[in-house]
Amino acid sequence: MKFKALNKVWSRILNILFWSIISAAFIGPGTVTTATKAGSDFQFQLLWALSFSTLACLVLQEASARSTIYSGMNLGQAIKYHYMGKRAQVPVLVLIVGAIILGCAAYETGNILGSVEGIALVFPKLDKRLIVGLIALIAGLALSLKSLRSIANFMGSFVFIMGFTFITTAVVSHPPVEEIMKGLVMPSLPETPGAGLLVLGLVGTTVVPYDLFLGSNVVQKDTTVTDMRIGISVAVILGGIISMAILCVGTEMTRGFTPEAAKNLEFSYKLLSNTLVLNIGQWAVYVFGFGMFAAGFTSAITSPLASALTARSIFEKKDAEGNSKNGHVFKWVSYAVLAIGVTLGFLQIKPVPAIVAAQAFNGLILPFVAIFLFMVVNNPEIMGVKHVNGWFSNIFMIVVTWVTLVLGIVNVTKSVISLMEDVQVSPDVLFGSASALALVITVIITIHILLKRKREIQKMLQQSQQEK
């Protein structure tokens, strides 16, 4: 009995470690930059945005994995099945795969450069190109592992190390507990221009499209709903706590400043490093630097992996025995994404045009995926009558869908504006307009999905009664 209990505990630990690949994917240099800037600019006022984004990530990841378990199709396959025989099938699939691969390739450079900056904080005399080379070598070896579970466990280990470094740094800075609790549960939007966009940035850096495809693809044949929910819950909540810890560290830069002084302070990692030395000690820079390296490094592996898995889930061909006929092609997709990031990392170039395009595409894909998941988990033909969403789950899905639509509209609009000269839009006007438009769209979609669900359930029940 004792050994059985120990085996069960060990199995739970491995399950959590496996699902930690999700938090490894969304905690990257973008999260570190956005969260520290939020802390620097607004102290603890925007912690609620991370609370919400963690919940939103949990809702969508659970829905994606649950639909895979009950339908037997991962997210890419489900989308392919839904549009099968329709004119929109090819454009939709090309848009999804193209956006995921383009987005991952563009952000891969940021992942690598972010991990380099982390190591540079710890070892400032090291040549940055040498660091890029070492990261590329280790990432390439990790991607060459044949077992997806081995890759996931490797990433999960780094997540726990990353969590320890960031949380330790935050705790030692002695942040005010009352302000933290207030910021976590009391939503507020500072009147400072751009605050709304920073809130969306915190949500957008936590709920990312390729992470939903990644989470769906790593579901194993023997995965149960209970094990999945435990693994995803711990992994996503831990990721949210890590992001909150990063925000708390960012508050060190302006703690005690007036709002005007904090607003005029230009954020930089060098300034953050100097602040940590003054307020905590030199060791804090080393710990934070290694945490930042881990954040960039894990994302540098999950980005290429997610690209390959998404492409495979949609375009893979199998023979009569169920074996992949073109599996090697998708392995090279991951190496291509890694190579692009490494090349631009060596050149110390940020692919701004590609990132702008990636933001626009991902801005379209995230609400599309959220809406599609909303439809799937309310479709009794796919989920079964007993497994469709309850009202409580649907309320969260509706809110999350609205926020992803706001995020999508804002990102697409910003990307278009950035390519146009002499065109400026107030951040507050952009945020307000996007929120109103997204609300109208969400209401229409919700009514359509719930009415269709009601009709299909009635139809299935009538068929069942006729068969009896």
The average pLDDT across 313-321 equals: 69
In percent, how much of the chain has pLDDT > 90? 5
Residue 259's pLDDT band (cuts 50, 70, 90): low
User: How far apart, in Å, do the first and last CA atoms of the chain sit?
Assistant: 45
Measured CA to CA, the distance from residue 71 to residue 83 in angstroms comes to 16
Measured CA to CA, the distance from residue 216 to residue 229 in angstroms comes to 13
- Residues 301, 155 contacting (CB under 8 angstroms): yes
pLDDT in tens, 262-275: 666 676 777 777 77
Measured CA to CA, the distance from residue 386 to residue 382 in angstroms comes to 11
So what's the pLDDT on residue 361? Answer: 63
Considering only residues 197 and 225, tell me which one the structure prediction assigns the higher pLDDT. Answer: 225
Per-residue burial over 331-364, b = 16 or more CB atoms within 10 Å of its CB, e = otherwise: eebbeebbbbbbebbeeeeebeebbbbbbbbbbb
Considering only residues 192 and 454, tell me which one the structure prediction assigns the higher pLDDT. Answer: 454
So what's the pLDDT on residue 209? Answer: 80
Name the most confidently modeled range: 170-184, 185-199, 414-428.
170-184
Give burial (CB, 10 Å; 0-12/13-18/19+) of 41. Answer: buried
pLDDT in tens, 53-102: 899 889 889 988 888 888 888 888 887 777 777 777 778 777 777 777 77
The average pLDDT across 9-21 equals: 71
H-run or E-run covering 370: helix 352-376
Residue 347's pLDDT band (cuts 50, 70, 90): confident
User: How confident is the prediction for the chain on average, in pLDDT?
Assistant: 80
Instruction: Find the range with the poorest average confidence among 173-187, 259-273, 383-397.
Output: 259-273
So what's the pLDDT on residue 111? Answer: 82
pLDDT for residue 152 is more than 90: no
So what's the pLDDT on residue 20? Answer: 76
Each domain of the chain, given as residue ranges in start order, spans 10-351
The angle subtended at Cα 370 by Cα 412 and Cα 111, nearest 5°, is: 60
Measured CA to CA, the distance from residue 194 to residue 198 in angstroms comes to 6
Please give the CATH topology (third level) of the domain spanning 10-351.
Answer: Hydantoin permease (1.10.4160)
Residue 144's pLDDT band (cuts 50, 70, 90): confident
In percent, how much of the chain has pLDDT > 70? 85
The average pLDDT across 152-177 equals: 79
**What pTM did the predictor assign?**
0.83
Instruction: Tally Cβ neighbours within 10 Å of residue 421.
Output: 4
